[in-house]
Amino acid sequence: MNKNEDMVLLHFEDEVAEASRLATAAGIEAAEIERHRFPDDELRLRLPARLPARVALYRSLHRPNEKLLELLLVARSAGRMGAQHLTLVAPYLAYMRQDKAFRAGEVVSQRIVGEFLAGLFDGVITVDPHLHRIDTLAEAIPVPHAIALSGAGLLADVAVSHRARPLLVGPDRESRQWVETAAQRHGLDFIVCEKVRHDDRNVDIVLPADAAVRGRAVVILDDVASSGHTLARTAAVLLAAGAASVDVAVTHALFADDALALIRAAGVGEVWSTDCIAHPSNAVHIAPLLAEALRAISPG
């Protein structure tokens, strides 16, 4: 594929593989941002000496706090170096969960981070953002090009390649959008559970009253695996109800601390994820979807 010299994809050293896959799929050049940390933890960044009018930056925003500062430094510098159109490609988008103040004084991070990103970029491309009470990514990040893709269909492809007509299960009402999309892709059965969250690590899962799971190969499908407690509890409930096997498919493999060991201990067999976050469970490359979205964005 001929390279598009009117655009460059910037990335950092820790995401060379992911950015290279995207650059190849999109037919654009990739260039690494040099990064040096001083003894006092301040950063020195160095972009390519010359930039085209269109610049994309690949940065998946798990463990996001320092990365948000990187975005500020890179975006402002790229603009001063002649870049006229900046697109952030963030397969995982942080700080989207806190979309309202549940107690007086709580910071609504979705709104603040969304406005911060909108002040830096003309476009944002992400995958399965955790949006509870809004319908579109543009409501959280008001930019001309706000594109939210989904890994649900690709995860369904992996599931059916390993299990014969599995039953897809969403652990809570929020997961319905992903589970329903994945089920429709292959004409699969699906159910959505009810979750009662007591705190970050203590949840109860209730199956639908008419759930027929006995003897079925079950795949729990969700957007993100973080502490693992929701997935572990869902797997335990499904196995107790007679499921023949329980596997997990997630878009974002955060798997903090001992989360993966926790869900394995609950009886989960296979774990499949997209490479939105690099992890040993990655079974799906998201680059082709990202490349299609990147090509669809045109300035002005």
Nearest Cα to Cα of residue 253 among 140, 120, 151:
151
Task: Quote the pLDDT of residue 3.
Answer: 61
The residue written with tokens 């869900």 in the block is 263
Model confidence at 298, in pLDDT bands (50, 70, 90)? low
List pLDDT tens digits, range 70-116: 999 999 999 999 999 999 999 999 999 888 888 899 999 999 999 99
48 pLDDT above the threshold of 50: yes
Nearest Cα to Cα of residue 8 among 23, 18, 25:
23
Task: Quote the pLDDT of residue 283.
Answer: 97
Model confidence at 198, in pLDDT bands (50, 70, 90)? low
Could you tell me the two tokens for 75? 């975006």
Task: Quote the pLDDT of residue 204.
Answer: 87
Task: Quote the pLDDT of residue 33.
Answer: 98
**What share of the chain in percent tops pLDDT 70?**
96
Task: Quote the pLDDT of residue 82.
Answer: 93
List pLDDT tens digits, range 124-143: 999 999 887 888 999 999 99
209 pLDDT above the threshold of 60: yes
The residue written with tokens 């079950």 in the block is 218
Mean pLDDT score, 6-29: 97
> How would DSSP label each residue in the chain?
---EEEEEEEE-GGGHHHHHHHHHHHTEEEEEPEEEE-TTS-EEEE--S---SEEEEE---SS-HHHHHHHHHHHHHHHHTT--EEEEE-SS--S-S--S-SSTT---HHHHHHHHHHTT-SEEEEES---SS-S-HHHHS--SEEEEE--HHHHHHHHHHHSSSPEEEESSGGGHHHHHHHHHHHT--EEE-EEEEEETTEEEEE--TT---TT-EEEEEEEEESSSHHHHHHHHHHHHTT-SEEEEEEEEE---TTHHHHHHHTT---EEEETTS--TTEEE--HHHHHHHHHH----
Domains of the chain: 4-149+285-296 (3.40.50.2020), 152-269 (3.40.50.2020)
Task: Quote the pLDDT of residue 300.
Answer: 44
Mean pLDDT score, 261-280: 96
